[in-house]
Structure 1
Amino acid sequence: MFALERREKIYDYILRNGNVTVLELSKKLEVSEVTIRKDLSFLEKKGLIDRTFGGAMVKSPIIKEQNYLEKEKYMINEKNLVGQKAAGFVKPSSTIILDAGTTIMELAKNIVNIEDLKVITTDLKIALFLSDFSNIEVTLIGGKVSVKSKECIGVETCNIVEKYNADACFLCCDAFDGNGNFMTTSIEKMYLKHTFMEISEKSFMLATSDKYGKKSMIKVTTAHKLTGIIIDKQSPKLIKDFDKIDVDNCVFV
């Protein structure tokens, strides 16, 4: 069993039971207690759980994953502005990765006229939308389909993505804070976004200001590790806070 799969099982088990012991998890998953302790330490560092004496208990995230249809209704104009700006970083005859999400979909809508473009994505809706344009070669990376986000995620998906190289990846997040930490709702999504970044020469984060000041399960990356960040300028506090932490790779639109 891969570490990712095991940690997902551990977290799901803790969610269902509230708290568990190391011995209990060791017997259930048939791995050593040392391995379980390492897994619990990993989950604790990601902010998913709290360690207890001999075990762990769940720490509920503030932001949970929303249904795709729900997210489509909010910040429509802002998402379009972010998508338009991000499209300016997409060059003809390049290979790009598009993360899943409604803001990334707005980017997809703004790149349909770029010639000889190769797009790699795990988002079912984005792949279907871009497949209508003969100037764009679309590669849909398969795997386990998320009912809520309409994307493929999981170990198999990451393994396939690792085989590619890209000029740039365009990511989304579920929450971000004043320290420039960008977060998502699951370990699987975090691993996938990390893989996108690893195989891409440049990495861009697209976000809307309604996600600012919130927290989600897992930290994906920090502002300083990204090539660029594109956010709408509806929040003066956000702009002020990012100025304090000297984020010079952020564009507000």
Structure 2
Amino acid sequence: MFALERREKIYDYILKAKNVTVLELSKKLNVSEVTIRKDLSFLENQRLIDRTFGGAIIKSPIIKEESYFQKEKYMINEKHLIGEKAAEFIKPNTTIILDTGTTIMEMAKCIVNVKDLEVITTNLKIALFLSDFENIEVTLVGGKVSMKSKGCNGIETCKIIEKYNVDSCFLGCDAFDISKGFMTTNIEKMYLKRTFIKTSEKSFLLASSNKYGKRSMLKVCDLSELTGIIVDKQSQKLIDDFNESDLDSCVFV
């Protein structure tokens, strides 16, 4: 059994049982306790479970907003691969919107050589980073600053964004699901993301696989309303669900 398949089985088992022990999983899957501990560490790093003494419990499926610095600590390689793939959709002499988020920041690192690029963003860290490159014109749209996301939002922010017509927007993700769509944690973020989509010819969701199957407070849109979804391959269930669906806009990296 491959590691990815085994971890999916472990996660499904914890999902049903709510809490398990390392010994229990070791006997069920006929692998060593050392292997199980490594698998649990992997699932914990993906924010899918919480480790306990001698075992693990399932995390709540309802996502709440985490700080930017918390998100920076996990799935770093996967986020970079997603960012690299997203950068391939950007052409010279175009205007794009970059949302907030650590995956979007990884994408920003991959577009620094694109010529004559105009970037509109509400994220303080992304704006500051890209401002060092002469080939990129950066517009930081202000508003109420979120201490957690390091981004601006609010009614005035949406009103400014509505004035633009852009080629593409690239959206950060809190939670997503084939049936429930693309979700976020608060109403200000929801309206801002909807405004990004409305003002853009194309819209791309950048999502790490640990967000799949989770729920958050508010729905932004159905996945079918997006031009593309870029996600890593760390969840076999996600891959299977998309292969069985009518959606053909998902790119796996």
- TM above 0.5, one fold? yes
Counterpart residue number, 1:154: 154
- d(CA) in 2 for partners of 1:247, 1:180: 14
1:239 aligns to 2:239 (yes or no): yes
- d(CA) in 2 for partners of 1:180, 1:113: 37
- 1:36-80 CA deviation, whole Å, 9 max, x = no partner? xxxxxxxxxxxxxxxxxxxxxxxx982110011000001000000
Asked if 2 retains the 8 angstrom alpha-carbon contact of 1:179 and 1:245, the reply is no
Asked if 2 retains the 8 angstrom alpha-carbon contact of 1:206 and 1:229, the reply is yes
Counterpart residue number, 1:190: 190
TM-score normalized with structure 1 length = 0.75
Asked if 2 retains the 8 angstrom alpha-carbon contact of 1:179 and 1:242, the reply is no
In structure 1, stretches of 5+ residues that fail to align are 1-59
1:223 aligns to 2:228 (yes or no): no
How much has 1:180 moved relative to structure 2? Answer: 5.9
Asked if 2 retains the 8 angstrom alpha-carbon contact of 1:119 and 1:136, the reply is yes
1:213 aligns to 2:223 (yes or no): no
TM-score normalized with structure 2 length = 0.75
Letter matched to residue 196 of structure 1: F
- 1:167-221 CA deviation, whole Å, 9 max, x = no partner? 0000011011242611100110010011011110000000000111110000111
SS at match of 2:163: coil
Asked if 2 retains the 8 angstrom alpha-carbon contact of 1:175 and 1:211, the reply is yes
In structure 2, stretches of 5+ residues that fail to align are 1-59
SS at match of 1:81: helix
Pairs aligned (count): 194
Matches within 5 A, 1:1-253: 62-179=62-179, 181-253=181-253
- d(CA) in 2 for partners of 1:214, 1:155: 27
- d(CA) in 1 for partners of 2:127, 2:136: 10
SS at match of 2:221: strand
Asked if 2 retains the 8 angstrom alpha-carbon contact of 1:61 and 1:217, the reply is no
Asked if 2 retains the 8 angstrom alpha-carbon contact of 1:186 and 1:218, the reply is yes
Runs of 4+ in 1 over 4 A off after TM superposition: none
Asked if 1 retains the 8 angstrom alpha-carbon contact of 2:98 and 2:171, the reply is yes
Counterpart residue number, 1:27: none
Counterpart residue number, 2:28: none
- d(CA) in 2 for partners of 1:222, 1:172: 15
- d(CA) in 2 for partners of 1:198, 1:212: 24
Asked if 1 retains the 8 angstrom alpha-carbon contact of 2:143 and 2:154, the reply is yes
- d(CA) in 1 for partners of 2:237, 2:65: 25
Percent identity, aligned pairs only, is 71
